[in-house]
Structure 1
Amino acid sequence: MVSDAFDKLEQELRRGVVVLAVLSQLRELRYGYELRQSLTDKGLPIEEGTLYPLLRRLEAQGVLSSEWRTADGKPRRYYALSPEGERLFRRLTGSWRGLNEAMGNLLEAS
């Protein structure tokens, strides 16, 4: 029972940070697999079934721009932050830092 609760709550925590993590890695042009590898290498593995719908949603919201490129004969869609995405990234980063500091204070007290 406790394990089920932990799994669900951990999933909620991850869901909250995945957008910021993705934005942090798209300050330069990357294609999906490369982005996924970068996140995994930095300690935040993400499933394809989560990443690609998120990329499409962020692009539809104007946060990302994308372009198709053909390298080695394989067409790949590359993503990067749009100007709106840059602004959003800066705001979310500030919010994250504030929350992280507050949580640090709260957890030290316990």
Structure 2
Amino acid sequence: MTQGQAKGIGLVELRRGVLVLAVLSQLRERQYGYSLRQALVDGGMPVEEGTLYPLLRRLEAQGLLTSEWDTATAPPRRYYRLNAEGSDALAELAKAWRAQVEAIHGFLGDA
């Protein structure tokens, strides 16, 4: 494995781990898929539709999101939002994230 391949694998794994936290953080407010994708892009975390929509379905199946169709708009849009369980999960993940960031800062020092 080359250095570039190792770097790519590491970045993919890192992004996969933080994408759930990023998505949950953006769904404190009701959003449809495209607006969520744009919010992530604007925040520096671009994500492909082929990654985002399956993740939204999985989070909803896990009971962290609710969704509803708005047919009053053209085209109809499916809106997602955190439910109570999702808000709790976001709080727990945010706490764990902050602890991990602190630990990594200690490991990296001035690197």
In 1, the alpha carbon distance for the partners of 2:107 and 2:47 equals 28
Aligned residue in 2 for 1:80? 81
- DSSP-derived class of the 2:9 partner: helix
Amino acid at match of 1:94: K
Q: Distance in 1 between matches of 2:93 and 2:11?
A: 20
1:91 aligns with 2:92: yes
Aligned pair count reads 110
The answer for the alignment partner of 1:34 in structure 2 is 35
Match of 1:59 in 2: 60
Cα distance change, pair 15–105 in 1 and its aligned pair in 2 (3 A): same
Post-superposition CA distance 1:28-82 (Å, at most 9, x none): 1000000000000000000100000000000001000000002432110000001
Q: Percent identity?
A: 57
Question: How does the TM-score come out when normalised to structure 2?
Answer: 0.95
Q: Unmatched 5+ residue regions in structure 2?
A: none
* Residue 6 of structure 2 is aligned to residue 5 of structure 1: yes
Instruction: Could you tell me which runs of 5 or more consecutive residues in structure 1 were left unpaired when the two chains were aligned.
Output: none
1:99, distance to aligned residue in structure 2 (A): 0.3
Root-mean-square deviation (Å): 1.0
